[in-house]
Chains A and B, each alone.
Chain A
Amino acid sequence: METRLQALVFVSLLMAKARIRGAAFERMKGRLERPEAFFEASDRTLKELLGGPPEAVESLGRFLKEGREEARRSAQRIEAIGGGAVWQEDPSYPKRLRSIAGPPRVLFHLSSLASPLEILERPCVAVVGTREPTPYGEEAAVRFARDFARNGVVVVSGLAHGIDTMAHEGSLEAGGPTVAVMANGIDSVYPRENEGLAARIRGNGVLLSELPPGTPPKSNLFPARNRIISGLCDATAVVEASARSGTMITAGCALDQGRDVFAVPGSIFSDRCDGTNQLLKEGAFVLTDSEDLLERLPASLRLGGFATPGRTVGDPSGEGRDPEERILDLLRAEPLDADSLSRRLGFGIQEVSIALVRLEIENRVRKENGRYRASRKVF
Chain B
Amino acid sequence: MAGRYAEAIGSGLQGVDATLVRIEVSIQNGIPSFDIVGRVGSDVREARERVRAAVRNSGLEFPGGRITANFAPAWIHKEGTGFDLPLALAVLAASGQIPPLPAGPSVLSFGELSLTGEVRGVNGAVNRAGVAEEGGIRTVLVPWDNRSEAGMLTGLRILPVRSLRKAIGVLSGKTADSRAAREGILEPPSEPPVVPAVVRGQLKALRAVEIAAAGMHNLLLVGSPGSGKTLLASLLPYLLPELDAAESLEVTRVYSAAGLLPPRIGRMRERPFRSPHHSATAATLVGGGGRPRFGEVTLAHKGVLFLDELAEFSPHVLESLRTPAEERVVRMSRNAAQLVFPAEFVLVGATNPCPCGARLEPHGGCRCSRTSVRKYASRIEGPLIDRMDLQVEVLRVAAESMEETVRDSGREDLVAMKERVARAAALEKERNAAVLGEACWNARIPGDRLEAVLGSAPGTVAEAARLAEAKKLSVRSFQKVLRVARTLADLDGTPAVAGNHVLEALDYRLAEYDRGRD
Contacts and interface: CB of A to CB of B under 8 A. Distances in A.
A342 interface: yes
A370 B393 contact: yes
A337 B395 contact: yes
Q: Give chain A's interface residue range (CB within 8 Å of chain B).
A: 20 to 34
Contacts of A342: 203-204
A272 interface: yes
A349 B367 contact: no
B467 A361 contact: yes
B462 to A, nearest CB: 15
A349 B364 contact: no
Contacts of A134: 363-364
Nearest to A162: B370
Contacts of A360: 471
B471 A343 contact: no
A357 B398 contact: no
A364 to B, nearest CB: 12
Query: Which secondary structure characterizes the binding site on chain A?
Result: helix
Interface in B353-373: 353, 359-360, 362-370
A349 B207 contact: yes
A369 to B, nearest CB: 5
A188 interface: no
A343 B401 contact: yes
Contacts, number: 80
Contacts of B467: 357, 361
A145 B360 CA distance: 26
A361 B370 contact: no
A280 to B, nearest CB: 20
B377 to A, nearest CB: 13
Interface in A321-379: 337-340, 342-344, 349-350, 352-354, 356-358, 360-361, 369-371
A358 B360 CA distance: 23
Nearest to A242: B367
Contact of A353 (B397, B471, B507): B507
Interface in B362-403: 362-370, 393, 395, 397-398, 400-401
Contact of A340 (B363, B365, B398): B398
A203 B384 CA distance: 41
Contacts of B488: 350
A356 to B, nearest CB: 6
A270 B365 CA distance: 8
A131 interface: yes
Contact of A338 (B204, B364, B368): B204
Interface in B322-371: 353, 359-360, 362-370
B470 interface: yes
A353 to B, nearest CB: 4
Given A337-B398, A339-B398, A353-B204, A191 B504 contact: no
Contact of B364 (A131, A191, A270, A337): A270
A340 B395 CA distance: 10
A66 to B, nearest CB: 32
B425 interface: no
B450 interface: no
A370 B363 contact: no
B513 to A, nearest CB: 13
Contacts of A96: none
A193 B467 CA distance: 23
B401 A369 contact: no
Nearest to B467: A361
Given A161-B370, A339-B395, A370 B504 contact: no
B500 interface: yes
A343 B401 CA distance: 8
A369 B360 contact: yes
Contacts of B366: 132
A293 to B, nearest CB: 26
Interface string B468-511: 00110000000000000000100000000000100110110000
B359 A369 contact: yes
Contacts of A340: 398, 400-401
B252 interface: no
B266 interface: no
Nearest to A191: B370
A339 B503 contact: no
A4 to B, nearest CB: 38
A360 B503 CA distance: 11
B201 interface: yes
Contacts of B400: 340, 343-344
The winner among A134, A356, A361 for most chain B CB atoms within 10 A is A361
Nearest to A362: B470
A133 to B, nearest CB: 9
Contacts of A132: 364, 366-369
Nearest to B374: A193
B369 A350 contact: no
A339 B360 contact: no
B97 to A, nearest CB: 72
A340 B204 CA distance: 10
A284 B289 CA distance: 69
A333 to B, nearest CB: 14
B399 to A, nearest CB: 10
Given A357-B504, A361-B470, A370-B395, A339 B363 contact: no
B370 A193 contact: yes
Contact of B503 (A349, A358, A369): A358
Contact of A356 (B353, B360, B507): B507
Nearest to B202: A339
Contacts of A338: 203-204, 507
The winner among A267, A338, A350, A361 for most chain B CB atoms within 10 A is A350
A350 B207 contact: yes
Interface in A267-319: 267, 270-272
A161 B373 CA distance: 14
A161 B488 CA distance: 38
Interface in B232-266: none
7 contacts: A132-B369, A193-B370, A272-B364, A354-B500, A354-B504, A371-B360, A371-B395
Given A339-B203, A342-B204, A353-B503, 20 more contacts: A134-B363, A161-B370, A270-B364, A271-B365, A339-B201, A339-B204, A339-B398, A340-B401, A344-B400, A349-B204, A350-B207, A353-B504, A354-B500, A354-B503, A354-B507, A356-B507, A357-B504, A369-B359, A369-B360, A370-B395
- Top 6 A-B residue pairs of the complex, sorted by shortest distance between their CB atoms: A353-B507, A370-B360, A370-B393, A361-B470, A349-B203, A354-B503
